[in-house]
């Protein structure tokens, strides 16, 4: 099924959208230099620019673009690209703050901003790009419906992060976090923002939810698997981070649920240990495999992808948008992405 979904057209379009997002963000930032000239501030500004412009898979802008196209928007899609860039700016601000909260050293293969500039400066720069996001969204549109979706997106992702910080264990909680932090924030709302910009009817926006929510959930499950079994060269972050952080993912919830008492004791002892060694991590990975949790999550990813693609098939949209979104869904949930 996979091969036929990977159309060269949608890949070319994606490449074009990514280039436009990079250019638009670079121009916007260059246009928003801070009013003070001073080496310390200039240095931070330069690192911020690099972080925003030269990084990220641009998942949300691409979904925004195809949400627009699916609703009959033109191929150029300037409003959707601009709104997508705004969402991406907001996301950059969240990532800067996330890395502080998680005390992460690397992001996109480079030292995190707070490691280079200190936590206070990184908090400020995160806040700055979030204000920019707002400004850029206002450039994209004054449509109150789109603004309402953007407002909801922001409240939802913060809710998901809040639940995440509370760190209650269990599958139910883990799935709720996935819903807010990823399914709604990364997939459903960007699609709907693009759709609403092109004047999509409520029916289409609801269909986008039926496609987007399971896809977003599958994407997060894939990300959780990669966070434990992935390759730093691909993910850009050390593969020990999630285990050291003791992230309460669905994968970990399944593992704990199916673990034998000695396995569970071992997990409880080492998950979340800041100084976890590679050897201990290998033991934890083995338990995750032995309990069947990995297989269970892989099966869930496959089922969610199927559900998502069924939702997509029922979307009343043009064939090229459908093909592109199917391709995209496949990429988001496949093993190597």
Q: What is the contact surface with a second copy in residues (CB under 8 A)?
A: 32, 34-36, 38, 40-41, 44, 93-94, 97, 100-101, 118-121, 123-124, 126-128, 130-131, 134-135, 138, 142, 144, 147, 151, 154-156, 158-159, 161-163, 165-166, 168, 176, 180
CB of 182 to a second copy, least distance (A): 15
CB of 133 to a second copy, least distance (A): 9
Between 167 and 234, CB nearer to a second copy: 167
Between 88 and 323, CB nearer to a second copy: 88
> What is the three-class DSSP state of 313?
helix
Between 180 and 208, CB nearer to a second copy: 180
Residues in contact with 280: Cβ distance below 8 Å, sequence separation at least 6, in sequence order: 270, 273
CB of 248 to a second copy, least distance (A): 14
CB of 192 to a second copy, least distance (A): 15
Helix (H) or strand (E) holding 169: none
Between 161 and 263, CB nearer to a second copy: 161
Between 117 and 293, CB nearer to a second copy: 117
Q: Are residues 217 and 178 in contact, defined by beta-carbon separation less than 8 angstroms?
A: yes
Phi, psi for 249 (deg, rounded to 5): -90, 170
Q: What is the DSSP-derived secondary structure letter of residue 200?
A: -
Q: What is the DSSP-derived secondary structure letter of residue 143?
A: -
Helix (H) or strand (E) holding 107: strand 106-107
The Cα–Cα gap between 52 and 91 comes to 9
CB of 93 to a second copy, least distance (A): 8
The Cα–Cα gap between 184 and 153 comes to 7
Between 181 and 322, CB nearer to a second copy: 181
Between 22 and 156, CB nearer to a second copy: 156
CB of 127 to a second copy, least distance (A): 6
The Cα–Cα gap between 85 and 217 comes to 23
CB of 159 to a second copy, least distance (A): 5
Phi, psi for 276 (deg, rounded to 5): -50, 130
Between 11 and 119, CB nearer to a second copy: 119
Between 163 and 226, CB nearer to a second copy: 163
Instruction: Identify which of 86, 88, 122 has the alpha carbon closest to the alpha carbon of residue 104.
Output: 122
CB of 135 to a second copy, least distance (A): 5
DSSP 29-92: HHTT--S---HHHHHHHHHHHHHHHS----HHHHHHHHHHHHTT--SS-HHHHHHHHHHHHHHH
Question: Sign of dihedral through CA atoms 249, 104, 23, 19?
Answer: negative
Residues in contact with 12: Cβ distance below 8 Å, sequence separation at least 6, in sequence order: none
CB of 222 to a second copy, least distance (A): 24
> What is the three-class DSSP state of 110?
strand
């Amino acid at each position: 099924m996979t091969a036929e979904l990977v159309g060269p057209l949608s890949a070319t379009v994606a490449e074009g959208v990514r280039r436009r997002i990079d250019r638009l963000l670079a121009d916007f930032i260059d246009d928003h230099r801070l009013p003070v000239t001073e080496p310390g501030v200039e240095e931070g500004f330069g690192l911020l620019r690099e972080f925003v412009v030269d990084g990220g898979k641009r998942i949300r802008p691409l979904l925004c673009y195809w949400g627009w196209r699916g609703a009959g928007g033109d191929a150029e899609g300037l409003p959707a690209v601009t709104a997508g860039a705004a969402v991406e700016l907001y996301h950059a601000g969240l990532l800067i703050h996330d890395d502080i909260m998680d005390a992460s050293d690397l992001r996109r293969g480079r030292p995190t901003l707070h490691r280079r500039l200190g936590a206070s400066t990184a908090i400020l720069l995160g806040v700055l790009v979030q204000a920019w996001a707002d400004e850029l969204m206002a450039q994209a549109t004054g449509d109150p419906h789109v603004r309402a979706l953007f407002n909801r997106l922001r409240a939802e992702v913060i809710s998901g992060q809040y639940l995440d910080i509370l760190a209650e264990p269990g599958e139910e909680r883990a799935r709720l976090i996935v819903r807010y932090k990823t399914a709604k924030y990364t997939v459903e709302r960007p699609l709907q923002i693009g759709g609403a910009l092109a004047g999509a009817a409520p029916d289409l926006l609801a269909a986008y939810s039926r496609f987007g929510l399971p896809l977003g959930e599958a994407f997060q499950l894939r990300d959780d698997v990669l966070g434990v079994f992935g390759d730093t060269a691909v993910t850009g972050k050390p593969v020990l981070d999630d285990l050291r952080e003791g992230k309460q993912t669905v994968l970990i919830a399944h593992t704990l649920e199916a673990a034998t008492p000695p396995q569970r004791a071992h997990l409880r002892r080492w998950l979340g240990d800041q100084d976890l060694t590679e050897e201990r991590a290998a033991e934890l990975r083995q338990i995750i495999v032995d309990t069947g949790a990995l297989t269970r999550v892989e099966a869930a990813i496959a089922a969610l992808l199927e559900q998502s693609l069924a939702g997509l098939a029922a979307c009343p949209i043009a064939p090229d948008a459908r093909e592109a979104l199917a391709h995209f869904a496949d990429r988001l949930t496949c093993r190597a992405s």
